[in-house]
Amino acid sequence: MFKADSHIHTVFSADGKQMPEEAIKAAAAAGLSEITVTEHCECNNNAALPPDEEPWPDLDVVNYTKTFEKLRETSPVKINIGLELGQATQGAEYAAKMTAAYKWDFILGSLHNVVNELDFYYIDYKNKDIPALFSQYFDQLYETVLFGGFSSLTHLYYPVRYIYRAGLTVDLSAFDEQIYAVLELCAKKDIGLEINTSALNDKFADFVPGLKYAKMFRSLGGKIITVGSDAHRAERVGLGISEAYEMIKQAGFAEIATFEKQTPVFHKI
Ligand SMILES: [Zn+2]
Ligand SMILES: [Zn+2]
């Protein structure tokens, strides 16, 4: 069966813990037909990192792309070379520069922090108005989709992971109107929706987004679904992909997409 993991980080991302060769080996072992590497490209110049955190260097586009082009020649698994474009609206010029820096196969759009806030990873939620923060997040996610420059929207409700880690809960349905607007805009702009499987492994949810929002996307005319593990280490490559395909079928989709030179290629699931 066709199986692709379209969201993988290696050491070319500051938080990546696997070598490119390890990722490919893990993908082959997991029975994947295809992977897409999507190294981080954060557009906000480290503005969302705490002061004591080592700043992330810019993505080394030349070294990154050349490395995977070379590995492609011998890899048993098809390799697409992509980007995870973070906070594009918080650094529009840099975003434009990086998206034009290579003929990327695929670009994921993401939002890891709202303006003038830390990355959700670093926030101390005990002193925060969580609903207000979520509302800001979905507003700015809408702006990110409006800005565009990417093929699929990753981890639709990224902050949830850290709310649960802090031992708190959040009722996402309170934000359904905003989520609806984000998904409607994606569908209108032919931007895909990523089903991120990392939640399954972190045990706070099954997928991000889950069945309810996958169905919502479909009802709004969304056609492009991509699936990724968001693996930062080898043991997570390909995890949850088959399970995600089952959920996607349940939501009414018959195909998932991978991307080549930013053009979707559809695969029956
Ligand atoms: Zn991300
Ligand atoms: Zn990622």
CATH number, domain at 239? 3.20.20.140
- Residue 267 Cα distances to 188, 219, 256, 258, angstroms: 21, 20, 5, 8
Q: Which two tokens stand for residue 38?
A: 């999507």
CA of 110 to the centre of ligand 1 (A): 6
Find out whether 177 and 136 touch, Cβ atoms under 8 Å: no
Residue 185 has pLDDT above 80, yes or no: yes
CA of 257 to the centre of ligand 1 (A): 19
CA of 268 to the centre of ligand 1 (A): 26
DSSP state of 60: -
d(CA 112, CA 73): 34
Average confidence (pLDDT) over 63-85? 98
**Domain limits at 221?**
4-268
Residue 203 has pLDDT above 80, yes or no: no
Predicted confidence at residue 216, as pLDDT, reads 98
CA of 155 to the centre of ligand 1 (A): 7
* pLDDT tens readout for residues 214-261: 999 999 999 999 999 999 999 999 999 999 999 999 999 999 999 999
Average confidence (pLDDT) over 175-189? 98
Give me the residues near ligand 2 (ion), CB cutoff below 5 Å. 84, 230
Residue 27 has pLDDT above 90, yes or no: yes
CA of 155 to the centre of ligand 2 (A): 8
Q: Which two tokens stand for residue 10?
A: 């290696």
Predicted confidence at residue 127, as pLDDT, reads 85
Find out whether 152 and 114 touch, Cβ atoms under 8 Å: no
pLDDT band at residue 206 using 50, 70 and 90 as cut-offs: confident
Q: Which ligand is nearest to the CA of 86?
A: 1
Beta strands in 88-209 (DSSP E): 106-110, 152-153, 192-196
Predicted confidence at residue 234, as pLDDT, reads 98
d(CA 102, CA 233): 25
pLDDT band at residue 149 using 50, 70 and 90 as cut-offs: very high
Predicted confidence at residue 200, as pLDDT, reads 81
Find out whether 107 and 82 touch, Cβ atoms under 8 Å: yes
Q: Which ligand is nearest to the CA of 83?
A: 2
Find out whether 140 and 112 touch, Cβ atoms under 8 Å: no
CA of 127 to the centre of ligand 2 (A): 27
DSSP state of 170: -
d(CA 194, CA 156): 8
pLDDT band at residue 205 using 50, 70 and 90 as cut-offs: confident
Residue 1 has pLDDT above 90, yes or no: no
CA of 59 to the centre of ligand 2 (A): 14
Residue % of the chain over a pLDDT of 70: 100
d(CA 227, CA 200): 13
Q: How many domains does the chain have?
A: 1
Q: Which ligand is nearest to the CA of 82?
A: 2
Q: Which ligand is nearest to the CA of 198?
A: 2
* pLDDT tens readout for residues 28-48: 999 999 999 999 999 999 999
CA of 223 to the centre of ligand 2 (A): 22
Predicted confidence at residue 77, as pLDDT, reads 98
